[in-house]
Amino acid sequence: MIIQDDDRIVHTGMFSKKAKEVIDSVFGQMSDGAWENNPYYDRWWKFGDAVQEVDGEVTIHISAKTGERGYNGKWIENGFIGMSDIDIKNWMARMVKKTMMMELRDEAISHGWRRDNTDFMTHYLNYDEEINVAEVYCVYEQLLGREIGVAKYSAAVICSVFGMKRQPDEIEAETKKREAAAAVEADYAEQVKVLNDEEKKLISELTAKIEEVKKSYMQKRGDAWRAKLEKLKTIA
């Protein structure tokens, strides 16, 4: 999903890259993974995305669009329309658990879905980070709004999932970094536009030149035929 200014933002209260990767991976499994060939999931991954804001919080961005046309022209409804923030987080929690359970089954691991399972590292719910089942479970429960504490998880798991809100100087640095990246992207888009405009101009000039050559050729051909006819008339 392309992030837009009018996106609805659902807050998760988590500030770690691991939490973002878990949520992001759910959308990834729908678009390019386990469920990529199931059109049912188009209504979800096309309209949702995980974003780490400038203060570090992981949020779920929901598109304001009610739907869009698919590659085959079929209309795809936005599945999040009409859902509350709690509904969306509950839905995401279920998908996190569903994905983790699928991986554990694929790896033939029974009873692996546990809060204390720090041994098994997921490959279905991560990108760059090393994330274990306990951390996935913690993300799952936070999305459900359950109480998280040391009675359930180790301090290491809690810290790795929740992270820390960025300090003002870090927020300023991150903001400048994103602004610089946006400026580079805008400059690239402008360059592409200029090249496209130049390409269109060149094509237009070439088309005009071809038409001019064709016209000249037809004119010369016509003159040649008329000359032959005049000659034949003279002979006759």
* Confidence (pTM): 0.75
The confidence score (pLDDT) of residue 216 equals: 85
The confidence score (pLDDT) of residue 20 equals: 97
Question: Which amino acid belongs to residue 144?
Answer: L
The confidence score (pLDDT) of residue 5 equals: 80
Report the distance separating Cα 191 and Cα 218, nearest Å. 40
The confidence score (pLDDT) of residue 236 equals: 61
Q: Point out the residues of the chain with pLDDT beneath 50.
A: none
Question: Which amino acid belongs to residue 209?
Answer: K
The confidence score (pLDDT) of residue 122 equals: 97
Q: Where are the domains of the chain?
A: 8-166, 167-236
Distances in whole angstroms, Cα of residue 50 to Cα of each of 17, 28, 154, 156, 178: 11, 10, 25, 23, 16
Q: Give the tokens for residue 83.
A: 């859902």
pLDDT digits (tens, 9 = 90+) for 197-211: 888 888 888 888 988
The confidence score (pLDDT) of residue 114 equals: 95
Q: Could you give the angle at the alpha carbon of 9 between the alpha carbons of 19 and 66, nearest 5°?
A: 120
